[in-house]
């Protein structure tokens, strides 16, 4: 279904100026202020018409900032430091309108079926595979996460790895811990003037580009799309060109079929002798047995890995050959830095995740906006201004032909100020601002829309 914006009738609040008597300048200026675009007028704070008392359940120690932000909106918040099992959730969730989780709580089909009031799910983390996204969408529940709040943290870790590899200082520090003094400068380099090759110039790659230039490095990048380089960075045409020229190659691509084993024996052979490889992206992007060969032969001078094809599910679990068959040989190679997927793990990133996801949930609950949702059509409408009367209709429905005709039939006695609809797979979402709906008409309007054949969920905000 295509997106539409239908101003059905002219707004009754439109102001007309008389052309016959031109007003004085200061008068025109004053009037221009009062005619300012709706975007600069104070937005009206909307609330759900039928359930003002929204209850939120926050699990897994979600930040206190998020708890306070929700409380400031007037929501009732229950929070816990722990995750909940499926059985616990099935028992508790029927009383909540929203839930916030991290990666340990699983929102399964059974949980969603028990969640009779649930309107929205917030994943206060990067990934969303702990949620049954399709079942949630079919139940009219958008899911939000925070995919980019840790970009800076990853970029800073990479900078530290570039220097650590170049100076072999992890190796030296490890030897000191073993009681061995081994001062040397052979094979240790400054990074100034060296070339950093960034594969994938997205959120993390671009941050890294800026930081590494500040260290005096030359930056090349390779990306499948043409991107405006930051600073003096230069985009190269092929991965081979980047591998041939770079002293450090760092990977920042998503996990996709075409990025699986993107760096294998052939690509490692294309890297300069004595170069370094850094992978903070996803474990399957590098063929690790091939990397082990390239390190053992001395073709590469070192590597830093933060991500692996298989990763333990919990802290304290072993990182061994049972998990990844090559773990022992990899761990034994000097100047290889292995970290447990900590690229994005900082206090700042956690705080930003808390802010971003809590504001996405609030925007959805109070205004109906789904921009940034991972499983839902993305729709938003310009804010209703404080002076405007009327209601906002948020209608989640099955994506089948004829729905808009039915809904617009219901809207036809009113003045539709704004309307926007978007679909994603089987689900479609329509938002409409309707002017001058009397309080007695609100229930009737909701009932009629809820009765349309494709209705999944209809909420009214005023
Ligand atoms: N180590 C960690 O803790 C950690 C934290 C955050 C993100 N990540 C991972 O880092 C990676 C990059 O994240 P991001 O936020 O910068 O992503 P992003 O989506 O902002 O950028 C990815 C870039 O890769 C490019 N790309 C896609 N396919 C490509 C290909 N075949 N060849 C070259 N370029 C390609 C895209 O065009 C895009 O510019 C992701 O895999 C993400 O999962 C890891």
Q: What percent of the chain has pLDDT over 70?
A: 88
Mean pLDDT of 359-373: 96
Q: What pLDDT digit, counting tens, does each position of 83-139 carry?
A: 999 999 999 999 999 999 998 899 999 999 999 999 999 999 988 989 999 999 999
- Whether 210 shows a pLDDT value over 70: the answer reads yes
CA of 340 to the centre of ligand 1 (A): 18
Tell me, what's the pLDDT at 45?
Answer: 64
Q: Does residue 3 register a pLDDT over 70?
A: no
Q: How many Å lie between the centroid of ligand 1 and the Cα of residue 306?
A: 14
Residue nearest ligand 1's atom 9 by CA? 281
- State in Å: Cα 451 to ligand 1 middle: 44
Domains and CATH numbers, the chain: 39-148+348-461 (3.40.50.720), 151-338 (3.40.50.720)
- 11-38 mean pLDDT: 37
- The structure tokens listed for 377 are 């059509």
The percent of residues above 90 in pLDDT, for the chain, comes to 79
CA angle (95 as vertex; 91, 98 as ends), nearest 5: 105
Instruction: Give pLDDT, residue 115.
Output: 97
190: CA distance to ligand 1 center in Å?
Answer: 27
What's the chain's average pLDDT? 89
Nearest alpha carbon, ligand 1 atom 6: 344
| Confidence (pLDDT) at 51 | 59
Q: Which of 202, 226, 261, 342 to mutate to test the pocket of ligand 1 (most atoms within 8 A of CB)?
A: 202
Residues with CB under 6 A from ligand 1: 126, 148, 150-151, 154, 199-205, 222-225, 252-256, 258-259, 280-282, 306-307, 341, 343-344
What are 151-181's pLDDT values in tens digits? 999 999 999 999 999 999 999 999 999 999 9
Which residue from 254, 337, 346 has its CB within 8 A of the most atoms of ligand 1, so it is best to mutate? 254
Q: What is the mean pLDDT of residues 391-396?
A: 96
H-state helical runs in 9-150: 25-34, 64-72, 86-92, 109-114, 133-138
Query: Quick one: DSSP state of residue 281?
Result: S
Q: What is the pLDDT of residue 44?
A: 65
pLDDT for position 440: 83
Q: What is the pLDDT of residue 127?
A: 85
At residue 13, does pLDDT exceed 50?
no
- Residue, of 356 and 46, whose pLDDT is higher: 356
Query: What is the residue-wise DSSP string for 201-264?
Result: -SHHHHHHHHHHHHTT-EEEEE-SS--PPPTT-EE-S-HHHHHHH-SEEEE-----GGGTTSB-
Position 7 scores a pLDDT of 30
Rounded Cα–Cα distance for residues 54 and 77 (Å): 9
CA-nearest of 374, 363, 417, 427 to 142 is 374
pTM value?
A: 0.79
Specify the DSSP element, H or E, that contains 408: helix 403-411
pLDDT reading at 394 higher than 90:
yes
CA 427/CA 421 separation, integer angstroms: 11
Select from 429, 342, 439, 422 the least CA-distant residue to 393: 429
**CB neighbours of 430 closer than 8 A, spacing ≥ 6?**
379, 393, 394, 395, 397, 403, 404, 407, 419, 420, 421
CA distances from 282 to 34, 287, 325 (A): 53, 11, 18
Residue-wise pLDDT tens digits, 224-267: 999 999 999 999 999 999 999 999 999 999 999 999 999 999 99
For residue 345, give the ligand 1 atom closest to its CA. Answer: 3
**In terms of Cα–Cα distance, which of 362, 347, 438, 448 is closest to 407?**
448
Compute the distance between CA of residue 418 and CA of residue 369 in angstroms, rounded to an integer: 14
**What is the CA(322)–ligand 1 centre distance, in A?**
28
Q: Are 75 and 47 in contact (CB under 8 A)?
A: no
Task: Please report the pLDDT score of residue 387 as a whole number.
Answer: 67
Half-sphere exposure of 248 (CA within 13 A, CB side): 30
Which residue's CA lies nearest to atom 21 of ligand 1? 202
d(CA 170, CA 243) in angstroms, rounded, equals: 24
CB 120 within 8 A of CB 96: no
Q: Is the pLDDT of residue 207 over 80?
A: yes
Extended beta strands in 335-390, E state: 336-338
User: Which residues are tagged catalytic?
Assistant: 282, 311, 341
Per residue in 296-335, pLDDT (tens digit) is 999 999 999 999 999 998 899 999 999 999 999 999 999 9
Band of pLDDT at residue 196, cut at 50, 70 and 90: very high
Residue 72 pLDDT > 80, yes or no? yes
Q: What is the mean pLDDT of residues 430-455?
A: 91
What is the reported pLDDT for 313?
A: 80
Q: Which residue has the higher pLDDT, 446 or 15?
A: 446
Is 32 a residue whose pLDDT tops 80?
no
């Amino acid at each position: 279904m295509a997106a539409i914006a239908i101003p059905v009738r002219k707004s009754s609040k439109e102001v007309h100026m008389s052309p016959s008597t031109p007003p004085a300048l200061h008068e025109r200026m004053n009037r221009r202020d009062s005619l300012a675009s709706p975007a600069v007028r104070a937005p009206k704070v909307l609330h759900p018409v039928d359930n003002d008392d929204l209850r939120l359940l926050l699990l897994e120690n979600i930040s206190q900032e998020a708890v306070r932000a929700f409380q400031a909106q007037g929501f009732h918040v229950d929070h816990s430091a722990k995750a909940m099992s499926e059985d616990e959730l099935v028992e508790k969730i029927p009383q909540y309108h929203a839930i916030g989780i991290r990666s340990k709580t699983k929102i399964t089909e059974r949980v969603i079926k028990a969640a009779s009031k649930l309107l929205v799910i917030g994943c206060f983390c990067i990934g969303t595979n702990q949620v049954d996204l399709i079942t949630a969408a079919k139940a009219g529940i958008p899911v939000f996460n925070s995919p980019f709040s840790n970009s800076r943290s990853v970029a800073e870790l990479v900078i530290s790895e570039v220097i650590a590899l170049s100076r072999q200082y992890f190796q030296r520090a490890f030897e000191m811990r073993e009681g061995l003094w081994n001062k040397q400068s052979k094979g240790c380099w400054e990074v100034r003037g060296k070339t950093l090759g960034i594969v994938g110039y997205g959120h993390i790659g671009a941050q890294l580009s800026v930081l590494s230039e500040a260290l005096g490095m030359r930056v090349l990048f390779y990306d499948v799309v043409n991107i405006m380089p930051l600073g003096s960075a230069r985009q190269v045409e092929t991965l081979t060109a980047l591998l041939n020229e770079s002293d450090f190659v760092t990977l920042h691509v998503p996990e996709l079929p075409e990025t699986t084993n993107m760096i294998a024996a052939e690509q490692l052979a294309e890297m300069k002798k004595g170069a370094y490889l850094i992978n903070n992206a996803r474990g399957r992007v590098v063929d690790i047995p091939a990397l082990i060969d390239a390190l053992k032969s001395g073709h590469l001078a070192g590597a830093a890995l933060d991500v692996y094809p298989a990763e333990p599910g919990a802290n304290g679990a072993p990182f061994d050959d049972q998990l990844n068959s090559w773990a022992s040989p990899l761990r034994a190679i000097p100047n290889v830095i292995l970290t447990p997927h900590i690229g994005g793990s900082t206090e700042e990133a956690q705080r930003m995740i808390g802010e971003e996801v809590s504001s996405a949930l609030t925007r959805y609950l109070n205004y109906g906006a789904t921009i940034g949702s991972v499983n839902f059509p993305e729709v938003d409408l310009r804010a209703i201004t404080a002076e405007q009367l009327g209601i906002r209709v948020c209608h989640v429905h099955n994506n089948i032909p004829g729905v808009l005709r039915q809904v617009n039939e219901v809207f036809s006695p009113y003045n539709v100020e704004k309307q926007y609809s978007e679909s994603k797979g089987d689900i479609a979402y329509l938002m409409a601002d309707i002017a001058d709906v009397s309080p007695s008409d609100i229930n009737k309007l909701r009932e009629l829309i809820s009765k349309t054949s494709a209705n999944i969920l209809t909420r009214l905000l005023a």
